[in-house]
Structure 1
Amino acid sequence: MKALRSETTRLRRSFNYPESDEDAVEEGMDEQDQELLLSHLSTHDTHSTNLYTHLLLLFPLAPLLLYIPLLVSPSTLLPSVAAICSLLASAYALYYLPLPPVRINIVDASGKPISSTKGKAAARGPDGRRAGNGNGSAEGRRPVPYISEETAEILAKYIIPLNAAVCAILCVCEVWQGRSWGEGVSVGGGYLPGLILAVVLWARRELRVVDLGELERLRVRGKGS
């Protein structure tokens, strides 16, 4: 991530308007270098985001197998089913519902923001492609297999609030039972699904891809001028 930030900073500086022709020669980048750097940034950011997303999926999915033995007991059946549904919902939100890309602010040589063209920048989804195709159209969502776009829209709108409500109910049950904190965060405990949901929500914020639309437009505008 530090390498990506440094390369992004380098790219922003390369797009700054030079104060003189000497600055343009010393600090500027030609069109091919800019295009290659944009492609490298996009590929590196997409690869890192996908890698960390798949690794973090183990966090909500790994405990699922440990909940299966708890399904045979009537006393733990309902809370175990609720916990399993919560873990699946957390994994769904992490993988299929990434947050919108991070916008890059472009400044000129004096440090003032460069006004962009009207409209939103062309956001890239977590797969590196531009948003706007299939079930992944809204905010760069990943396409969800085997379900309709209408169902995907409903899940995107309600799955996180419903998951949070389930986690809250499990926490209340845990408090009512009066068990210790260590038991609550272990498999079968009422605090574990809520803890995992909190980590997933934090990870979604940290795994936002970088929107390079402003840099691409600035490069094209510089070419036209």
Structure 2
Amino acid sequence: MAAVRLRKAFRYPEESDDDDREELDEEEQERVIQQLQQQNESRNAQYSLVFTAIPLFATMVFLSSLGAQSASERLLSFLSILSLLATAYTMRSAPLYPDRKGKKPLTPQNERLEMIHSALIPVNGAVCVSLTLIYMIFLNGDSWYINPAFYLIPGVMLGVIVLARATMLSVDLATLKDLQYEYKGA
């Protein structure tokens, strides 16, 4: 007698994956979300520390030119230092996550700080653009105490900090918390 062939019904790959997947109960979900949040907060603290130190170290480039004979060069160096300090402050002290649903009570001091934080990056950006324009105008200047290319450093640092903050903000565990089971006793 010929060999008997048994036919199996076709199943899509995702159908078989559903059977093997292990679901988490509410306590396990909460524990996993807390672990992820702790890891995210520690990583953000490390990034914040590193990206605060970089602009502070970059200010050393301009400290020597504060003693230059040219008043315009002293002013440009002072603006560069202020821009780098504002960039470091933005990375370290400006709130990373916006206040959601009015959880913080608004006091006059909080309003002023929020206004300063919201205006700091655009004002700093304007200073960086003006320093870049000055670099372009005086590109071939030989009478500078420091290289005019150094006036590009504040703009580069601001760009790096804005990118780092955007990367840190891209991890949002609130959406993961929203996916958590809605009912008890799962």
Identify whether the pair has TM-score above 0.5, normalized to the shorter chain. yes
Computing the radius of gyration over CA atoms, which structure comes out larger, 1 or 2? 2
Q: d(CA) in 2 for partners of 1:209 and 1:63?
A: 27
Q: What is the number of equivalent residue pairs in this alignment?
A: 165
Q: Which structure 1 segments of 5+ residues have no match?
A: 1-18, 102-121, 124-129, 138-146
List aligned pairs for 1:40-59, cutoff 5 A.
40-59=35-54
Structure 1-normalised TM-score? 0.61
Query: Taking structure 1 as reference, are residues 33 and 56 closer, same or farther at Cα in structure 2, changes over 3 Å only?
Result: same
In structure 2, the partner of 1:37 is 32
Q: d(CA) in 2 for partners of 1:133 and 1:179?
A: 52
Query: Taking structure 1 as reference, are residues 197 and 179 closer, same or farther at Cα in structure 2, changes over 3 Å only?
Result: farther
Cα drift, residue 38 of structure 1: 0.9
Q: d(CA) in 1 for partners of 2:84 and 2:171?
A: 28
Query: Taking structure 1 as reference, are residues 29 and 224 closer, same or farther at Cα in structure 2, changes over 3 Å only?
Result: closer
In structure 1, the partner of 2:103 is 132
In structure 2, the partner of 1:11 is none
Percentage of matched positions with identical amino acids? 29
In structure 2, the partner of 1:72 is 67
Q: d(CA) in 2 for partners of 1:158 and 1:40?
A: 34
Match of 2:88 among 88, 91, 94: 91
In structure 1, the partner of 2:11 is none
Q: Secondary structure at the residue paired with 2:103?
A: coil
Q: Which structure 2 segments of 5+ residues have no match?
A: 1-14, 142-146
Structure 2-normalised TM-score? 0.73
Query: Taking structure 1 as reference, are residues 167 and 26 closer, same or farther at Cα in structure 2, changes over 3 Å only?
Result: closer
Q: How large is the RMSD of aligned CA atoms in angstroms? A: 3.3
Q: d(CA) in 2 for partners of 1:30 and 1:222?
A: 10
In structure 2, the partner of 1:150 is 111
Mapped contact 1:98–1:204 kept (Cα < 8 A):
no
